[in-house]
Each structure stands twice: as C-alpha cells, then as structure tokens.
Amino acid sequence: MKRHLISAADLTRDDAVLILDTAEEMARVADRPIKKLPALRGRTVCNLFFEDSTRTRISFEAAEKRLSADVINFAAKGSSVSKGESLKDTAQTLEAMGVDAVVIRHSASGAPYRLATSGWIDAPVINAGDGTHQHPTQALLDAFTMRRRLVGPDAGLGQDLAGKRITLVGDVLHSRVARSNVALLHTLGAEVTLVAPPTLVPVGVETWPCEVSYDLDSVLPKSDAVMMLRVQRERMNAAFFPTEREYSRRYGLDGDRMARMPEHAIVMHPGPMVRGMEITAEVADSDRCTVVEQVANGVSIRMAVLYLLLGGNEPALTNPRTEEK
C-alpha cells in the first residue's frame, strides 16, 4: 500500500481487498463489550476539516478512538484559517506538534495531494473528500457494503466484486463519490454504469472505465446494486435540469422502479439523502436500502485504513501474516 490514501484510483486490487478483509475483522470489534483496540495507542491523528462535514468527521473520529489514537479535531471555521492562514502554515503547525497522521477534507480538489507531496508535513495523509475529486474511504465503505450484501461477510473474505453490476445514478458531475466509486469498483472487477441527465455527466467521461446511460429504467433490471447520488445544489452554479420534479420523475428511485430491480439487488446512498427527490421515503426505509449499514461500515473501513497506514512503521504489505511467539 502507498503511504497516503489520496485517491481510490491509487489502490491496487490486492490493496483494496486487504482493506476490505481488515475492515471485516474491525467490524467484529463493534460487537464486543469493549469496543477498543490498542493498535494506535500513543499516535496522534488530526482531523483537518476545511469543509463542513458531520458524518465523515464523526466516522473518522470514532475509528481513531476505537484504535486508541489521540484525536485532534480542527475545523476551519473559527480557526486561524478564517484569519487568512494558508494550508502550508496549518500543515507546518501540525508537523511541529508531531502529528502522526492527517485526515483532510477540503473544498478544493487536490488539496490532500498537495499536502501529501509538498513536503510540508511528513505524516501520512488520508483524503476525507476534496472538492469534486475523490472520497476514497467512501468508495471503500460502499464496496465493503456491496461485498457483504452481494457476496456475504465470511464468504467474501479475499474476494473482490468481479462480475457484479453496479449502477450509479444522479449528479455525477459534482460527485467525488461517483469518481472514487468508478475507479475502485473497476479495480475490484465490477461493471459500472453511470445514469445521469446529460447536463450532469462530466466532460471526458468516455475515458472512465464505465458505461454511461441516460435511461434509468433500462439499466435497473440488470443491476446488483443501485447507488443514488446526492444532487449537490451547493456546487451548482447553473441550471442543470429544469425542475426538481422532472429530475425526480426521470432519475429518482421510487417503489415502482425498485420493483424492477432483481430481488437480491440493493439500494445505496452515500447520504445525506434528499427524500422525495432522489429517493422516496418508501425506498429509503425499505430493507433493501443500506444507508444506515453504510454508516456503520464507514467506521470499520476507516479503522482498517488507519490501521494499515499507521499500525506499523510503514504501511501494510500485501503478504501473508507473520508469526512470532
């Protein structure tokens, strides 16, 4: 594995499977009376959040605490960043404090890459979402959820998602989740189809390892998992579709559409859901919808990533485990 986790595209198939397998073990910790492991005792992890996020930050914080790391939470709002401090200055401050890893969320695509490669800081950098670029731990938790549901938790160990057909629906243009998922799912052997209004399909999508369709109804019957994406109004600077109602009619998932999916197929959403537009309450609350499961799996995946990057003196190697008495 690489020293940093910046993009889901950086992961090899073996790295990704190692993370998923490790997360499977981490998930078992949640069932114990003491939900804590000593692996990162004495290590300090800084959650550097330049963009608002509750779900991801809490998920990382829970993962770090379950691994016994010391956690520093940094929110840009109300910090020196709002007084004009640069990313470089913030990074150097953290370096001087001896932080062992940085989890960064930033509205600018590429900020985590800059932090990891500029030499400002020596610690491993984990991308917790940068602009419209990448959100690798989200893609990993999605793949983990798919593997658990479509292959099985124990049967899934060591397995990838070869042959599974995954459909991503909605605002692909602004979605880092879609970009990360396409890369990772392709690495894991799945066939990915993007379904979106033509205005929300990014330029250059033909170079992505996936199919593109504008017709949700024709794709649903052959999907093993359908992932609805959030329509990101905060990133929209133009009219990408006429009305919410029209979007909902063509690209929203309701009970009728869900009935057209194969019986084993699952519905996913990275959250937060906009009920009534992307997904109806009926679908969101059904047994086939894995939104809550995805949140729980997020903690296990982040524990796995933190452990594999920080647990030893260098990131995990994809080789058999060592034995020593």
Partner 1 sequence: MDARSSDSRTQAPARPVLEGPDIARMLTRIAHEIVERAKGADDVVLLGIPTRGVFLARRLAAKLEEITGRAIPVGSLDITMYRDDLRLGPARTLARTEIPTDGIEGRLVLLVDDVLFSGRTIRAALDALGDIGRPRAVQLAVLVDRGHRELPIRADYVGKNLPTSLREAVKVQLTEEDGRDAVLLGLRSAPSRPGSDAASSAAEQTVPADER
Query: Using CB under 8 A as the criterion, which residues of the chain lie in contact with partner 1 when the complex forms?
Result: 18, 21-22, 25, 28, 32-34, 36-39, 307-325
Contact 217, 251 (CB under 8 A): no
Q: Give me the least distance between CB of 310 and partner 1, in Å please.
A: 7
Separation of alpha carbons 21 and 27, rounded Å:
10
SS3 assignment, position 1: coil
Q: Give me the least distance between CB of 43 and partner 1, in Å please.
A: 9
Q: Give me the least distance between CB of 32 and partner 1, in Å please.
A: 6
- The count of other CB atoms within 10 Å of the CB of residue 37 is 17
> In the complex with partner 1, which residue's Cβ is closer, 292 or 317?
317
CA 267 to chain CA centroid, Å, is 16
- The count of other CB atoms within 10 Å of the CB of residue 265 is 21
Identify the sign of the CA torsion 158, 162, 165, 171.
positive
> In the complex with partner 1, which residue's Cβ is closer, 243 or 319?
319
> In the complex with partner 1, which residue's Cβ is closer, 41 or 88?
41
Q: Give me the least distance between CB of 112 and partner 1, in Å please.
A: 20
Separation of alpha carbons 277 and 271, rounded Å:
13
> In the complex with partner 1, which residue's Cβ is closer, 60 or 307?
307
Q: Which helix (H) or strand (E) holds 77?
A: none
Q: Give me the least distance between CB of 297 and partner 1, in Å please.
A: 17
> In the complex with partner 1, which residue's Cβ is closer, 151 or 316?
316
- The count of other CB atoms within 10 Å of the CB of residue 191 is 19
> In the complex with partner 1, which residue's Cβ is closer, 172 or 301?
301
Question: Counting every residue, how long is the chain?
Answer: 325
Beta strands 211-213; 191-195: pairing state: parallel
Q: Give me the least distance between CB of 69 and partner 1, in Å please.
A: 13
Q: Give me the least distance between CB of 33 and partner 1, in Å please.
A: 7
10 Å CB burial of residue 154 (0-12, 13-18, 19+) is exposed
Backbone dihedral angles phi then psi of residue 253, each to the nearest 5 degrees = -105, 115
> In the complex with partner 1, which residue's Cβ is closer, 32 or 83?
32
Cis peptide before 272 (omega within 30 of 0): yes
Q: Give me the least distance between CB of 125 and partner 1, in Å please.
A: 16
Separation of alpha carbons 51 and 75, rounded Å:
8
Q: Give me the least distance between CB of 84 and partner 1, in Å please.
A: 38
Give the sheet arrangement for strand 44-49, strand by strand: 70-75, 44-49, 101-106, 125-130
> In the complex with partner 1, which residue's Cβ is closer, 14 or 254?
14
> In the complex with partner 1, which residue's Cβ is closer, 215 or 314?
314
Residue type, 197: P
Contact 300, 26 (CB under 8 A): yes
